[in-house]
Amino acid sequence: MNQRAVGRFYDRCAGFYDFIFDQVFHEGRLEAVKAMRLAPGDSVLEIGIGTGLSLPLYPRHVRVAGIDLSTPMLEEARKRNSRSGQRRSVGLARMNAEKLAFPDVCFDVVYAPHVVSVVPDPRHVVTEMGRVCKPDGRVVVVNHFGTRHPIGRWLERRLTPLTHHVGFRLDLQLDTILGIPGLELVDDRRVNMLKLTRLIVFRKRQQANIGKLSRRERARHCTQRRAQWSAGRVDPAADVDTEACGGLAAVEESPSGGERSAF
Protein backbone atom coordinates (compact mmCIF):
# COMPACT_ATOMS: atom_id res chain seq x y z
CA MET A 1 0.00 0.00 0.00
CA ASN A 2 1.48 3.33 -1.10
CA GLN A 3 1.02 5.71 1.84
CA ARG A 4 1.55 8.82 -0.28
CA ALA A 5 -1.12 7.70 -2.73
CA VAL A 6 -3.49 6.95 0.15
CA GLY A 7 -2.80 10.39 1.63
CA ARG A 8 -3.47 12.13 -1.68
CA PHE A 9 -6.73 10.22 -2.12
CA TYR A 10 -8.05 11.29 1.28
CA ASP A 11 -6.81 14.85 0.75
CA ARG A 12 -8.98 15.03 -2.36
CA CYS A 13 -12.09 13.53 -0.81
CA ALA A 14 -12.03 15.41 2.53
CA GLY A 15 -14.76 17.80 1.40
CA PHE A 16 -17.30 15.10 0.53
CA TYR A 17 -16.11 12.20 2.74
CA ASP A 18 -19.01 12.60 5.20
CA PHE A 19 -21.60 12.41 2.43
CA ILE A 20 -20.35 8.94 1.46
CA PHE A 21 -19.23 7.38 4.74
CA ASP A 22 -21.25 9.00 7.55
CA GLN A 23 -24.39 6.86 7.70
CA VAL A 24 -22.77 3.79 6.11
CA PHE A 25 -20.42 3.35 9.08
CA HIS A 26 -22.44 5.10 11.80
CA GLU A 27 -23.55 1.90 13.55
CA GLY A 28 -19.96 0.70 13.80
CA ARG A 29 -18.87 4.00 15.37
CA LEU A 30 -21.65 3.79 17.96
CA GLU A 31 -20.81 0.18 18.85
CA ALA A 32 -17.09 0.95 19.02
CA VAL A 33 -17.58 3.79 21.51
CA LYS A 34 -19.82 1.55 23.64
CA ALA A 35 -17.18 -1.19 23.58
CA MET A 36 -14.57 1.26 24.92
CA ARG A 37 -16.35 1.37 28.32
CA LEU A 38 -15.10 4.87 28.93
CA ALA A 39 -14.93 6.25 32.47
CA PRO A 40 -14.61 9.89 33.58
CA GLY A 41 -11.09 11.18 32.94
CA ASP A 42 -10.16 8.46 30.42
CA SER A 43 -8.06 9.35 27.40
CA VAL A 44 -8.65 8.03 23.87
CA LEU A 45 -6.32 7.98 20.89
CA GLU A 46 -8.21 7.69 17.61
CA ILE A 47 -5.98 6.66 14.72
CA GLY A 48 -7.32 7.78 11.36
CA ILE A 49 -9.74 10.27 12.87
CA GLY A 50 -10.51 11.63 9.40
CA THR A 51 -13.15 14.36 9.46
CA GLY A 52 -13.98 13.64 13.11
CA LEU A 53 -17.25 11.76 12.63
CA SER A 54 -16.69 9.99 15.96
CA LEU A 55 -16.12 13.19 17.96
CA PRO A 56 -19.79 13.89 18.85
CA LEU A 57 -20.11 10.32 20.15
CA TYR A 58 -17.47 10.57 22.86
CA PRO A 59 -18.69 11.46 26.38
CA ARG A 60 -17.83 14.95 27.56
CA HIS A 61 -15.79 13.56 30.44
CA VAL A 62 -13.05 11.97 28.27
CA ARG A 63 -10.05 13.49 26.50
CA VAL A 64 -9.53 12.68 22.84
CA ALA A 65 -6.39 12.71 20.73
CA GLY A 66 -6.82 12.23 16.98
CA ILE A 67 -4.24 11.60 14.29
CA ASP A 68 -4.42 11.26 10.53
CA LEU A 69 -2.13 11.40 7.51
CA SER A 70 -4.36 13.88 5.69
CA THR A 71 -4.13 17.54 6.67
CA PRO A 72 -7.43 18.47 4.91
CA MET A 73 -9.21 15.69 6.83
CA LEU A 74 -7.78 16.98 10.12
CA GLU A 75 -8.95 20.49 9.23
CA GLU A 76 -12.49 19.13 8.77
CA ALA A 77 -12.23 17.43 12.18
CA ARG A 78 -11.09 20.69 13.78
CA LYS A 79 -14.04 22.55 12.24
CA ARG A 80 -16.46 19.87 13.44
CA ASN A 81 -15.21 20.17 17.02
CA SER A 82 -15.30 23.97 16.89
CA ARG A 83 -18.91 24.14 15.74
CA SER A 84 -20.22 21.36 17.96
CA GLY A 85 -21.97 23.46 20.68
CA GLN A 86 -20.13 21.48 23.38
CA ARG A 87 -16.51 21.64 22.37
CA ARG A 88 -14.55 18.65 23.62
CA SER A 89 -10.98 18.37 24.85
CA VAL A 90 -9.48 17.29 21.54
CA GLY A 91 -5.92 17.37 20.22
CA LEU A 92 -5.25 16.80 16.52
CA ALA A 93 -2.00 16.09 14.70
CA ARG A 94 -0.75 14.72 11.40
CA MET A 95 1.05 11.47 12.17
CA ASN A 96 1.92 8.08 10.67
CA ALA A 97 0.09 5.23 12.42
CA GLU A 98 3.15 3.01 12.02
CA LYS A 99 5.36 5.49 13.89
CA LEU A 100 3.31 6.85 16.77
CA ALA A 101 5.15 9.76 18.42
CA PHE A 102 3.90 8.82 21.88
CA PRO A 103 5.73 7.13 24.76
CA ASP A 104 4.41 3.86 26.18
CA VAL A 105 1.19 3.48 28.17
CA CYS A 106 -0.31 6.90 27.37
CA PHE A 107 -3.96 6.12 26.63
CA ASP A 108 -6.81 4.17 28.23
CA VAL A 109 -8.26 3.33 24.80
CA VAL A 110 -6.65 3.24 21.36
CA TYR A 111 -9.10 3.09 18.46
CA ALA A 112 -8.52 2.54 14.73
CA PRO A 113 -11.63 2.74 12.51
CA HIS A 114 -11.10 1.47 8.94
CA VAL A 115 -7.34 1.93 9.15
CA VAL A 116 -5.64 -1.47 9.16
CA SER A 117 -6.58 -2.17 5.54
CA VAL A 118 -5.04 1.09 4.29
CA VAL A 119 -1.56 0.73 5.84
CA PRO A 120 1.42 -1.28 4.54
CA ASP A 121 1.91 -3.24 7.78
CA PRO A 122 -1.38 -3.77 9.67
CA ARG A 123 0.15 -5.98 12.36
CA HIS A 124 2.78 -3.37 13.20
CA VAL A 125 0.08 -0.69 13.51
CA VAL A 126 -1.90 -2.80 16.01
CA THR A 127 1.33 -3.56 17.88
CA GLU A 128 1.97 0.20 18.12
CA MET A 129 -1.58 0.66 19.38
CA GLY A 130 -0.86 -1.87 22.12
CA ARG A 131 2.40 -0.16 23.02
CA VAL A 132 0.77 3.21 23.76
CA CYS A 133 -2.24 1.65 25.51
CA LYS A 134 -2.25 1.44 29.30
CA PRO A 135 -2.34 -1.98 31.03
CA ASP A 136 -5.93 -3.26 31.22
CA GLY A 137 -6.85 -0.69 28.55
CA ARG A 138 -8.64 -1.47 25.30
CA VAL A 139 -7.43 -1.58 21.71
CA VAL A 140 -10.44 -1.28 19.38
CA VAL A 141 -10.35 -1.99 15.65
CA VAL A 142 -13.24 -1.59 13.21
CA ASN A 143 -12.56 -2.85 9.71
CA HIS A 144 -13.59 -5.09 6.85
CA PHE A 145 -11.67 -8.37 6.87
CA GLY A 146 -11.45 -10.89 4.08
CA THR A 147 -14.01 -13.66 4.00
CA ARG A 148 -13.12 -17.34 4.37
CA HIS A 149 -15.74 -18.36 1.82
CA PRO A 150 -13.89 -19.61 -1.29
CA ILE A 151 -16.00 -17.64 -3.78
CA GLY A 152 -15.96 -14.46 -1.68
CA ARG A 153 -12.20 -14.76 -1.15
CA TRP A 154 -11.62 -15.20 -4.89
CA LEU A 155 -13.70 -12.09 -5.61
CA GLU A 156 -11.90 -10.00 -2.97
CA ARG A 157 -8.52 -10.97 -4.35
CA ARG A 158 -9.59 -9.97 -7.84
CA LEU A 159 -10.99 -6.63 -6.69
CA THR A 160 -8.15 -5.66 -4.33
CA PRO A 161 -5.82 -4.40 -7.13
CA LEU A 162 -8.60 -1.98 -8.08
CA THR A 163 -9.37 -0.86 -4.53
CA HIS A 164 -5.66 -0.12 -3.99
CA HIS A 165 -6.19 2.94 -6.19
CA VAL A 166 -8.72 4.35 -3.73
CA GLY A 167 -6.64 3.52 -0.69
CA PHE A 168 -7.68 0.17 0.78
CA ARG A 169 -7.53 -3.58 0.31
CA LEU A 170 -10.42 -6.04 0.56
CA ASP A 171 -8.51 -9.25 1.20
CA LEU A 172 -6.86 -8.50 4.56
CA GLN A 173 -7.39 -11.50 6.85
CA LEU A 174 -8.29 -11.07 10.53
CA ASP A 175 -5.49 -13.48 11.49
CA THR A 176 -3.03 -10.77 10.45
CA ILE A 177 -3.70 -8.80 13.63
CA LEU A 178 -4.38 -11.69 16.04
CA GLY A 179 -1.87 -13.27 18.40
CA ILE A 180 0.08 -10.10 19.19
CA PRO A 181 1.82 -10.64 22.55
CA GLY A 182 0.10 -8.74 25.35
CA LEU A 183 -3.19 -8.23 23.51
CA GLU A 184 -6.08 -10.52 24.47
CA LEU A 185 -9.07 -10.75 22.11
CA VAL A 186 -12.24 -10.07 24.13
CA ASP A 187 -14.83 -9.23 21.46
CA ASP A 188 -15.41 -9.96 17.77
CA ARG A 189 -18.73 -9.09 16.14
CA ARG A 190 -20.15 -7.84 12.88
CA VAL A 191 -21.44 -4.27 12.52
CA ASN A 192 -22.56 -1.73 9.90
CA MET A 193 -24.68 -2.24 6.80
CA LEU A 194 -24.87 -5.83 5.54
CA LYS A 195 -22.61 -6.81 8.47
CA LEU A 196 -19.53 -6.66 6.25
CA THR A 197 -17.47 -4.91 8.93
CA ARG A 198 -16.13 -6.39 12.16
CA LEU A 199 -15.63 -4.79 15.54
CA ILE A 200 -12.54 -6.27 17.21
CA VAL A 201 -11.69 -5.47 20.82
CA PHE A 202 -8.45 -6.40 22.58
CA ARG A 203 -7.59 -5.97 26.24
CA LYS A 204 -4.00 -5.14 27.07
CA ARG A 205 -2.81 -7.54 29.74
CA GLN A 206 -1.59 -6.08 33.01
CA GLN A 207 1.94 -7.43 32.64
CA ALA A 208 2.18 -6.84 28.90
CA ASN A 209 5.54 -5.61 27.61
CA ILE A 210 4.87 -4.30 24.10
CA GLY A 211 7.98 -2.37 23.11
CA LYS A 212 7.95 -0.87 26.58
CA LEU A 213 10.35 1.86 27.71
CA SER A 214 11.61 2.10 31.27
CA ARG A 215 10.04 4.74 33.52
CA ARG A 216 13.22 6.84 33.30
CA GLU A 217 13.31 6.57 29.48
CA ARG A 218 9.62 7.47 29.24
CA ALA A 219 10.08 10.53 31.49
CA ARG A 220 13.09 11.66 29.46
CA HIS A 221 11.12 11.18 26.22
CA CYS A 222 8.22 13.33 27.51
CA THR A 223 10.60 16.05 28.77
CA GLN A 224 12.41 16.20 25.43
CA ARG A 225 9.14 16.40 23.48
CA ARG A 226 7.83 19.27 25.65
CA ALA A 227 11.11 21.18 25.32
CA GLN A 228 11.21 20.71 21.55
CA TRP A 229 7.60 21.80 21.17
CA SER A 230 8.12 24.91 23.32
CA ALA A 231 11.24 25.85 21.35
CA GLY A 232 9.41 25.42 18.06
CA ARG A 233 11.73 22.62 16.91
CA VAL A 234 8.91 20.12 16.42
CA ASP A 235 6.75 20.40 13.32
CA PRO A 236 3.15 19.83 14.50
CA ALA A 237 2.44 18.25 11.12
CA ALA A 238 4.95 15.49 11.87
CA ASP A 239 5.20 15.15 15.63
CA VAL A 240 3.26 15.95 18.78
CA ASP A 241 3.99 16.67 22.41
CA THR A 242 2.41 14.33 24.96
CA GLU A 243 2.09 16.49 28.05
CA ALA A 244 2.78 14.02 30.89
CA CYS A 245 1.59 11.22 28.57
CA GLY A 246 -2.03 12.18 28.92
CA GLY A 247 -2.79 15.87 29.37
CA LEU A 248 -4.46 17.20 26.26
CA ALA A 249 -3.89 20.93 25.87
CA ALA A 250 -6.38 23.17 24.14
CA VAL A 251 -5.80 24.40 20.61
CA GLU A 252 -3.01 26.96 20.80
CA GLU A 253 -2.17 29.98 18.70
CA SER A 254 1.02 29.37 16.73
CA PRO A 255 3.59 32.15 16.14
CA SER A 256 2.41 32.40 12.53
CA GLY A 257 -1.07 33.34 13.68
CA GLY A 258 -2.65 30.08 12.62
CA GLU A 259 -3.72 27.27 14.87
CA ARG A 260 -2.03 24.08 15.93
CA SER A 261 -3.58 21.27 17.90
CA ALA A 262 -1.36 20.02 20.70
CA PHE A 263 -1.60 17.33 23.34
Per residue in 13-43, pLDDT (tens digit) is: 777 777 777 688 899 999 999 999 999 999 9
**In the structure, what pLDDT confidence band is assigned to residue 210 with cuts at 50, 70 and 90?**
low
**What pLDDT, on a 0 to 100 scale, did the predictor assign at position 218?**
56
**What pLDDT, on a 0 to 100 scale, did the predictor assign at position 224?**
56
Rounded mean pLDDT, 5-20: 71
Distance of CA 197 to the CA centre of its chain: 17
Q: Give all strands (DSSP E) within the chain, no chain letters.
A: 43-47, 63-68, 90-94, 107-113, 133-143, 183-191, 197-204, 252-253, 259-260
**In the structure, what pLDDT confidence band is assigned to residue 166 with cuts at 50, 70 and 90?**
low
**What pLDDT, on a 0 to 100 scale, did the predictor assign at position 191?**
96
Q: Report how far residue 82's alpha carbon sits from residue 92's, in angstroms, rounded to the nearest whole number.
A: 12
**What pLDDT, on a 0 to 100 scale, did the predictor assign at position 222?**
53
Domains of the chain: 3-212 (3.40.50.150)
Given a cut of 80, whether residue 87 has pLDDT beyond it is no
Given a cut of 60, whether residue 156 has pLDDT beyond it is no
Given a cut of 70, whether residue 167 has pLDDT beyond it is no
**In the structure, what pLDDT confidence band is assigned to residue 182 with cuts at 50, 70 and 90?**
very high
Q: Could you tell me the pTM of the whole model?
A: 0.77
